Amino acid sequence: MGKTKNRGYVFFGCLLLFALGFISSGNQLILMEVTEDFQMDGNTGVGILAAMSYAGMILSTILFGGLTDRFDKKKVLCAFGLVVVGGTAVGCLSQSAFMVALSIFIYGIGFAIVNGTVGAALMETDPSRSNTFTNLSQMFFSLGSVVSPLLIAWLMERGMNWRGHFGIGAGLFLAAVICFFFTRRPAVPEGMKSAGDKGSFRAIACAALFLLALSIGMYVAMESGQVFFTKPYFIQELKDPQNAALSISLIWIMMIPSRVIASRIHKKKTLLVCGCFALACISCLLTALVRVPGLSLVWSALFGFAAGPIFPTIMSAAMDAFPHHTGRASSVLVTAAGIFGVLSNIGMGAVSDAIGLGNGFFMVAGFAALGILLFYLARKKSSPGRK
């Protein structure tokens, strides 16, 4: 019976990330339409709107990051799940670029806590399977991210306004929150109970955490530079608008098998993450150098397969390093992700408008290369000799 309850809790926790991925990927798809509707400046406008979610993430983790180590993670997830619903609903009612930006900002506040806490909440049920839970939950995020661009693009071709995406996303996430709220939370092993008020930043501040935060920052800079600008790249550089939505879905589709594979790997995390960063770097270089419509879909797929395990495995490494402060450690990493997400999106937009969108992917490849070095150093610091 205990296993059944545990499976239900894990499934509905993962369902939260499915809905979160649906909204996130849909946002990536519609930003060009939003900037055109409100006459914003090209790629710079896309970058500014994309950066708003990361700005919300930064504020959220600074103000609320410690809550998950002081309160029941399930209650925190449900509360911030409602923030996601509220922010997304604002987008459905938006009549100006400011309202869309506000919607994405509020969504980012909820996104940070939900995305950073689901893995930690599931890990509490079985601490030995941290990499399984983080990769499994992020696989559900990828599933939602696959469905959204294809469904929303199909509906928009049949006359749906881009605001419809926000309405669908809000309804889906509300349903996921309700299901999770009414699922019984399994007992937490004594050794995994949170440190309460001791879950402060000082309790975990060290070089290893700083390097892990920079590593995940490089990943988010790389991922956001790729996924938010894939659609403009296909339309502007390749003159291939019919495959723009497919390219986004391909990235997320290919994350699914790689995250399934990574969920079975409990050792060799350094090799896994550094290898994935290297493959992602190659795919970004190919995107910048070989601008052929058919092949560019292959580069998108290659990037997705490579990028899939990186975020959840870095989060897993942080939870392994700070088992009694999983919530605080996760929030520090999500804060770094938010900061680098803002800088990457604004930078990618400005660089693309200045030297061309295709050339902007050289910068994205640079983020991936830095990620290799930073994660290697982080693992050396967190536990000498650890692989």
246 DSSP 8-state letter: H
Judged by phi (left if over 0) then psi (alpha if -120 to 50, else beta), residue 385 lies in: left
**Measured between alpha carbons, how far is 179 from 173 in angstroms, rounded to an integer?**
10
The mean of the pLDDT values for the chain is 85
Q: How confident is the model at residue 200 (pLDDT cuts 50, 70, 90)?
A: low
Q: Coil, helix or strand for 186?
A: coil
The per-residue pLDDT for 11 is 92
**Measured between alpha carbons, how far is 166 from 335 in angstroms, rounded to an integer?**
25
Q: For residue 147, give Cα distances in angstroms to 22, 135, 339, 350.
A: 7, 18, 28, 30
**Measured between alpha carbons, how far is 387 from 35 in angstroms, rounded to an integer?**
45
User: What distance lies between CA 321 and its chain's CA centroid?
Assistant: 21
Alpha carbon dihedral 285, 286, 289, 295, in 10-degree steps, equals -160
**What residues contact residue 216 under an 8 Å CB cut-off, 6+ apart?**
311, 314, 315, 333, 336, 337
Do 216 and 314 contact (CB within 8 A), yes or no?
A: yes
pLDDT in tens, 81-138: 999 999 999 999 988 889 999 999 999 999 989 988 888 788 877 777 777 888 888 8
**What residues contact residue 385 under an 8 Å CB cut-off, 6+ apart?**
none
Instruction: Please provide residue 236's backbone torsions phi and psi, each rounded to the nearest 5 degrees.
Output: -85, -45
383 DSSP 8-state letter: S
pLDDT in tens, 346-365: 888 888 888 888 898 999 99
Residue spans of the domains in the chain: they are: 2-382
The per-residue pLDDT for 227 is 83
For residue 204, what are its two tokens?
């975990």
For 2-382, the fitting CATH number among 2.60.40.10, 1.20.1250.20, 3.30.870.10, 1.20.120.430 is 1.20.1250.20
pTM of the model: 0.76
> Taking residues 203-223, what's their average pLDDT?
88
